[in-house]
């Protein structure tokens, strides 16, 4: 299970720099930080030889850290390349509707009744062997993945779960995939094997004759689509079944205890699943998420059959709900001119128009940096710090440094630029007078925030001729998991999500048109925002010269201009 499914501490996670989404304390910016999440970027950890913190009491269990700054970014270790451009996610492996307006999930063509097996044995299902007595395979290479695929071809059902992490990546990364059959447990290292998961597993997950059992699959379904282009047919969600059965609680922890008498060790619920190698404790925790799931499925299916009536078909209801989860399609979060209104905690502050203008401008800058560097927005500039800058509107480097306290590397590298953004935003504050008044009405309960946000328009970051992408593979390339090995894929035109479909088979991408760059304070003289520029070079001011320069996220994602 993903650590973010647990409780979260928004401020702690924010200080750790985690998170990407602005909307809720349990969202991506808040992450699922435990108390250890207060370790800021760049801090270090001291542990005793037995893994305990040196100040911990003897015999105390070591704390499990969700945000470990000592772990190198998987994007760097495994050469993971992600398309973070501010354009819709392209489900390129799906068929399109006749009019070409939308992708068609393979499940749409299949009747729900096809997945309901009413031949439920009345005999009590056989409980599986304990985790320690069950064969286990950690899949870390293509040989292991091939062997797993062959085994899954011979079974009619298997259980699935994912471990996910949001720290220091814009959209998040799937770190592990757990799969259990009736006789074996498997854990796939989806960071190391990321480029192969889709091509090897997509047909098995799409196969309507194979039952996939998952618990609380809503986000897992999204991650499968986003990271691997894997789409699921024939799902039984035990979380939905527990709701239909009106059980006391719907968590997997409760189902394990209720049906199996197993007390789940939730210590690792908030673990940093990017960590390698996996500890024995992490492996056991991950295995328990799927090891008993087919047995729980058997018991729940039997109960659903027994409690169904002609008027209330519980098996059908669970299947409909499971199908609805599968039919959801992943959508990338897009930056709009109203996205800043989603920032968690913003509504608690009564901000003037000028301060709102700063919030909007900093939010756009943060989004751009996070997309380009594949960082979580909270790592670039947490919500709390962003709002504080907007409230105080610093005019000098010293003022800004007092606010952020040197905790955020991306801010440290762009002090002058941020001051320019603040200055230009305040000059542009007239455009935010109406929004400031509307937010006052929201706080008074006289207006719904949704009505304001829904009016937002996606910020255009692409030139008008950015339509197609051409990808040329060198067939002589041998794809390797080694970080030093790269395949020759060349993007010959402007980029879309479609490039990542086939480009996920490589370790590196060269963008011919433009290369991702961030303007440094040395070669920047002014920042443009809505046509306003704060001159920071006297010679440029006297000559009244402004030369347009743009910085690209990828080959077609162009952010607002920087003037030199």
Please give the average per-residue pLDDT across 324-333, as a whole number: 96
Same domain, 362 and 237: no
DSSP string of 403-458, one letter each residue? HHTT--HHHHTTHHHHHHHHHHHHHTGGGGHHHHHHHHHHHTTSS-HHHHHTT--B
The residues with which 235 forms a beta bridge, in sequence order, are 212
- Weakest-pLDDT range from 63-77, 142-156, 171-185, 370-384: 63-77
Q: What is the CATH number of the domain that holds 189?
A: 3.30.420.10
Same domain, 229 and 165: yes
Task: Give residue-wise pLDDT tens across range 259-290.
Answer: 999 998 888 888 999 999 999 999 999 999 99
Same domain, 410 and 293: no
Same domain, 186 and 238: yes
Please return the burial class of 123, using the count of CB atoms within 10 Å of its CB with bins 0-12, 13-18 and 19+. exposed
76 pLDDT band, cuts 50/70/90, is: very high
Q: Please indicate, yes or no, if residue 212 is contained in any of the structural domains.
A: yes
309 pLDDT band, cuts 50/70/90, is: very high
DSSP string of 190-220, one letter each residue? TTTTHHHHHHHHHHHHH-TTSEEEESS-HHH
Q: Please indicate, yes or no, if residue 152 is contained in any of the structural domains.
A: yes
What's the longest Cα–Cα distance across the chain? 89
Local structure of 25: helix, strand or coil? coil
Q: Which has the higher per-residue pLDDT, 415 or 528?
A: 415
Q: Please indicate, yes or no, if residue 229 is contained in any of the structural domains.
A: yes
Last residue within a domain, chosen from 381, 402, 435: 435
Last residue within a domain, chosen from 327, 361, 384: 327
Please give the average per-residue pLDDT across 67-80, as a whole number: 93
**Phi (first) and psi of residue 188, to 5 degrees:** -100, 130
Q: Which has the higher per-residue pLDDT, 462 or 389?
A: 389
Q: Which has the higher per-residue pLDDT, 447 or 287?
A: 287
Task: Give residue-wise pLDDT tens across range 453-472.
Answer: 776 666 765 443 333 322 23
Same domain, 343 and 323: no
What's residue 171's pLDDT? 96
Task: Give residue-wise pLDDT tens across range 48-58.
Answer: 334 333 334 45
Domain limits at 380?
339-435
Same domain, 159 and 243: yes
Local structure of 182: helix, strand or coil? coil
Instruction: Tell me how many degrees the CA angle 529-532-534 measures, rounded to the nearest 5.
Output: 100
Q: Please indicate, yes or no, if residue 119 is contained in any of the structural domains.
A: yes
Domain count, the chain: 2
Q: What is the DSSP letter of 528?
A: E
Task: Give residue-wise pLDDT tens across range 221-256.
Answer: 999 999 999 999 999 999 999 999 999 999 999 999
Average pLDDT score over the chain:
77
Task: Give residue-wise pLDDT tens across range 112-123.
Answer: 999 998 887 778
Last residue within a domain, chosen from 276, 293, 327: 327
**Phi (first) and psi of residue 159, to 5 degrees:** -100, 145
What's residue 133's pLDDT? 97
Q: Please indicate, yes or no, if residue 394 is contained in any of the structural domains.
A: yes
Same domain, 282 and 174: yes
Same domain, 157 and 119: yes
Q: Please indicate, yes or no, if residue 107 is contained in any of the structural domains.
A: no
d(CA 59, CA 67): 24
Is 529 within 8 Å of 422 (Cβ atoms)? no
Q: CB 73: neighbour CB atoms within 10 A?
A: 16
405 pLDDT band, cuts 50/70/90, is: confident
Size of the chain, expressed as the number of residues it contains: 564
Task: Give residue-wise pLDDT tens across range 13-40.
Answer: 444 444 454 544 333 343 333 333 333 3
Q: Please indicate, yes or no, if residue 521 is contained in any of the structural domains.
A: no
- Is the preceding peptide bond at 546 cis, omega within 30 degrees of 0? no
What's residue 105's pLDDT? 97
Q: What is the CATH number of the domain that holds 343?
A: 1.10.150.80
What's residue 534's pLDDT? 54
Same domain, 322 and 344: no
What's residue 458's pLDDT? 64
Same domain, 343 and 289: no
Please give the average per-residue pLDDT across 317-343, as a whole number: 95
Same domain, 268 and 397: no
Task: Give residue-wise pLDDT tens across range 158-213.
Answer: 999 999 999 899 999 999 999 999 999 999 999 999 999 999 999 999 999 999 99
Q: Please indicate, yes or no, if residue 323 is contained in any of the structural domains.
A: yes
Please return the burial class of 132, using the count of CB atoms within 10 Å of its CB with bins 0-12, 13-18 and 19+. exposed
What's residue 528's pLDDT? 43
Please give the average per-residue pLDDT across 378-382, as a whole number: 95
Same domain, 274 and 236: yes
Is 323 within 8 Å of 200 (Cβ atoms)? no
Q: CB 443: neighbour CB atoms within 10 A?
A: 13
């Amino acid at each position: 299970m993903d650590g973010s499914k647990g409780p979260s501490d928004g401020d702690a996670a924010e200080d750790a720099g985690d998170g990407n989404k602005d909307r809720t304390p349990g969202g991506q910016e808040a992450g699922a930080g435990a108390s250890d999440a207060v370790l800021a970027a760049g801090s270090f950890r001291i542990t005793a030889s037995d893994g305990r913190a040196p100040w911990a009491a003897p015999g105390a269990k070591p704390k499990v850290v969700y945000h470990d700054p000592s772990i190198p970014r998987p994007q760097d270790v495994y050469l993971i390349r992600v398309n973070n451009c501010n354009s819709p996610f392209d489900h390129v492996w799906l068929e399109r509707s006749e009019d070409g307006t939308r992708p068609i999930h393979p499940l749409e063509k299949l009747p729900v009744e096809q997945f309901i097996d009413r031949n439920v044995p009345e005999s009590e299902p056989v409980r599986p062997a304990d985790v320690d007595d069950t064969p286990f395979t950690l899949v870390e290479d293509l040989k292991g993945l091939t062997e797993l695929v062959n085994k899954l071809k011979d079974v009619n059902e298997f259980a699935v779960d994912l471990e996910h992490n949001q720290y220091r990546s814009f959209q998040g990364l799937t770190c592990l995939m757990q799969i259990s059959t009736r006789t074996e447990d498997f854990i796939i290292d989806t960071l190391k094997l990321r480029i192969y998961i889709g091509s090897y597993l997509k047909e098995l997950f799409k196969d309507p004759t194979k039952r996939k059992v998952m618990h609380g699959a809503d986000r897992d379904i999204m991650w499968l689509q986003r990271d691997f282009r894997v789409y699921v047919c024939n799902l039984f969600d035990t979380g939905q079944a527990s709701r239909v059965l009106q059980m006391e609680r719907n968590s997997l922890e409760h189902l394990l205890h209720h049906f199996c008498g197993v007390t789940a060790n939730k210590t690792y619920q908030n673990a940093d699943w990017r960590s390698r190698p996996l500890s024995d404790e992490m492996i056991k925790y991950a295995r328990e998420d799927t090891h008993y799931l087919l047995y729980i499925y058997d018991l729940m299916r039997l109960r659903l059959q027994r409690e169904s009536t002609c008027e209330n078909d519980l098996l059908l209801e669970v299947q409909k709900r499971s199908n609805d989860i599968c039919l959801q399609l992943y959508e990338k979060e897009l930056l709009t001119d109203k996205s800043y209104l989603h920032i968690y905690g913003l509504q608690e502050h009564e901000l003037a128009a000028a301060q709102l203008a700063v919030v909007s401008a900093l939010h756009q800058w943060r989004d751009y940096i996070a997309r380009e560097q594949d960082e979580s927005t909270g790592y670039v500039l947490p919500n709390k710090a962003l709002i504080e800058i907007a409230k105080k509107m610093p005019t000098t480097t010293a003022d800004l440094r007092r606010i952020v306290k040197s905790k955020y590397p991306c801010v440290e590298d762009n002090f002058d630029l941020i001051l320019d953004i603040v200055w230009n935003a305040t000059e542009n504050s007239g455009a935010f007078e109406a929004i400031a008044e509307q937010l006052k009405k929201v706080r008074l309960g006289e207006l719904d925030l949704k009505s304001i946000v829904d009016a937002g328009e996606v910020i255009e970051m692409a030139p008008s001729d950015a339509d197609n992408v051409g990808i040329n593979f060198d067939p002589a390339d041998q794809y390797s998991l080694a970080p030093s090995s790269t395949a020759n894929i060349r993007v010959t035109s402007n980029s879309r999500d479609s490039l990542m479909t086939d480009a996920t088979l490589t370790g590196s991408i060269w963008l011919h048109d433009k290369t991702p760059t961030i303007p440094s304070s040395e070669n920047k003289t002014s920042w443009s925002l809505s046509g306003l520029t704060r001159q920071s070079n006297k010679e440029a001011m006297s000559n009244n010269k402004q030369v347009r320069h743009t910085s690209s996220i990828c080959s077609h994602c162009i952010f607002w201009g920087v003037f030199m």
